[in-house]
Structure 1
Amino acid sequence: MGKSEAQTLLEKADKKANSSGGWFSSSTTKYEEAGDMYQQAGNAFKIDKLFKEAGDAFAREAECREKCKEVNEAANAWWNASKAYKRGYPDLAVQALSQTITALTRAGRFRQAADREKEIAQIHLQETNDLRKACESFERAADWYAQEDATATANACFKDAADLHADLEEYAIAIERYEQVADHSLTSNLTKYSVKDYWLKAGLCALALDVVTAKRNMGKYASQDVTFPSTREAKFINALVEACETGDVEAFTGAVVEFDQVTKLDNWKTNMLLKIKRGIQTESIL
């Protein structure tokens, strides 16, 4: 069986990249031409569904672009490499995205760098299950979005980071992040409606710490928005606080069931409530 078109293109690209060049061609021209060939090879490998080989070819293209000081083209090539690697090679995808980010930040394209950092967070979350790294990437992306005045996207990333801090049982940091997003959301009529959910999440994190913190924070939220105490979310947290104070597991369960009948609890909230409930049960044994 003969060589595939992709393999032939790759060999031509290698030959061009490693050639000494001629009298009339500069090394820049050599790498530009090799880069174009690597790009063609990468696309051909993708057609053949050979994603690791495609990613490798795009990565070599990126290196050629860097040698020609073509920063934007290098960023694009690294991104193409990451998209190929995403098909089964998450660690390589993260490496390629990190290279993309380096090129983008050099070019001052922080909004795009934030987009790529967010992609890294999602790979860590969905593929490698590394919550710590996912959390760090969401926070980095959020900072860059905030710098570029993409406030809504920044807040979405800070919220995702807060969820992960809570999963990692870093409740104080999670509360800080939820409150930060809630403060931003209070400033606009379009986002004001979502504040009660951020405060509900912050309230659950506070309860996972201790009742005193939860009560103090609920008072703070009520002073920030006078309508909050009348919401179902605030009443729910207050009922949980009371149950925790008295060590009443039945009252706690009753409050959860009642809230869930109207507003379905998602997995994150359910997990938090189970942790808090276990805390009450442990204390009642002691």
Structure 2
Amino acid sequence: MPAKSPAQTLLEKADKRASSSAGWFSSASTKFEEAGDLYQQAANSFKIEKLFKEAGDAFAREAECREQCKEENEAANAWWNASKAYKRGFPDLAIQALTQTIVHLTKGGRFRQAADREKEIGQIYLQESNDLRKACESYERAGEWYSQEDATATANACFKDAADLHAELGEYPQAISRYEQVADHSLTSALTKYSVKEYWLRSSLCALAMGDSVTARRNMTKYSNQDVSFASTREAKFVNALIEAVEGGDVEAFTAAVFEFDQITKLDNWKTAILLKIKKEIDDDGRLT
């Protein structure tokens, strides 16, 4: 029989302590405190051995011991440590552990940290399971919490990510209202004002993807009123050229406008995908209303 690893030995000690009776002289909370410390040591030992699932499981057991002792902060921390171990190949378990972390953080009124963890959940949904819907919900929730804590820049980054995902899901009205929300916030500061044209460009592309050039035009007028310098930007000229091409059912003019814009400002994957969708609409209809 192979010798037990140090981590395995610690884990067995922790299990034994957790299930022991409290005894005459110690309270139940002392028992769970000691077991929690042993689980934590076992988890760190598993990490050294690169056994991440076992490490995550041990941190989760530690978290449960901390909960027995009503130690909210320690429990939140243990669940977070569990999620970090689970992230190495077990995304579903990482999300469960982060969800538990958030329960403790929100109970303690620590919404800023809760938002950080919620954003992590969004990233896991996006990168590991390509679940755009759930990722979008997590980014929006994180954004709301950041807003409550006056972390406006971080909130805006989350809302912008959510808007991109709404658009990818074909939910253009939701995407437009998120882009406009982020743009409105960005207008209030000299530092972020420069990024407004990017949000308005994305919003306008969403309107065209809906096949609604009337809304696209109306929004362009609204944006130019909100910021007088917008009309002269390359982004605004690009959108206006696209609106003309779409309304004229002119695929060549559309393609030329896209090519010209891309020469100076490389189109990212998101814009490329939505522009292809708009072009396909012109191809199909020959004309859009």
TM-score range, shorter chain: over 0.9
Aligned ranges for residues 256-271 of structure 1 at < 5 Å? Answer: 256-271=258-273
Q: Which runs of 5+ in 2 are unaligned?
A: none
The separation in 1 between residues aligned to 2:41 and 2:277, in whole angstroms, is 53
Alignment match, 2:201: 200
Q: Which runs of 5+ in 1 are unaligned?
A: none
Letter in 2 for 1:236: F
Alignment match, 1:9: 10
How big is the shift at 1:234?
0.2
Alignment match, 1:224: 226
* TM-score, scaled to structure 1: 0.99
Letter in 2 for 1:226: V
Aligned ranges for residues 273-284 of structure 1 at < 5 Å? Answer: 273-284=275-286
Alignment match, 2:23: 22
The separation in 2 between residues aligned to 1:26 and 1:34, in whole angstroms, is 13
For each residue in 1:3-57, what CA deviation from the matched residue of structure 2 results, as whole angstroms up to 9, or x when unmatched? 0000000000000000012100100000000000000000000000000000000
Aligned ranges for residues 233-244 of structure 1 at < 5 Å? Answer: 233-244=235-246
Aligned ranges for residues 30-179 of structure 1 at < 5 Å? Answer: 30-179=31-180
| Residue aligned with 1:64, SS | helix
How big is the shift at 1:119?
0.2
The separation in 2 between residues aligned to 1:191 and 1:285, in whole angstroms, is 37
1:190 and 2:187 correspond: no
For each residue in 1:153-177, what CA deviation from the matched residue of structure 2 results, as whole angstroms up to 9, or x when unmatched? 0000000000000000000000000
Contact 2:249 2:287 in 1 (8 A): no
Letter in 2 for 1:253: T
Letter in 2 for 1:229: A
| Residue aligned with 1:198, SS | helix
The separation in 2 between residues aligned to 1:148 and 1:232, in whole angstroms, is 35
Letter in 1 for 2:42: A
The separation in 2 between residues aligned to 1:131 and 1:15, in whole angstroms, is 43
The separation in 2 between residues aligned to 1:156 and 1:187, in whole angstroms, is 15
The separation in 2 between residues aligned to 1:52 and 1:42, in whole angstroms, is 10
Letter in 1 for 2:229: T
| Residue aligned with 2:286, SS | helix
**What is the percent sequence identity of the aligned residues?**
78
Alignment match, 2:251: 249
How big is the shift at 1:285?
8.8
Contact 2:46 2:52 in 1 (8 A): yes
For each residue in 1:29-86, what CA deviation from the matched residue of structure 2 results, as whole angstroms up to 9, or x when unmatched? 0000000000000000000000000000000000000000000000000000000000
RMSD: 0.9
The separation in 2 between residues aligned to 1:133 and 1:62, in whole angstroms, is 25
Alignment match, 1:215: 217
How big is the shift at 1:284?
1.7
Question: Where in structure 1 do 4 or more consecutive aligned residues deviate above 4 Å?
Answer: none
Letter in 1 for 2:283: Q
Letter in 1 for 2:159: F
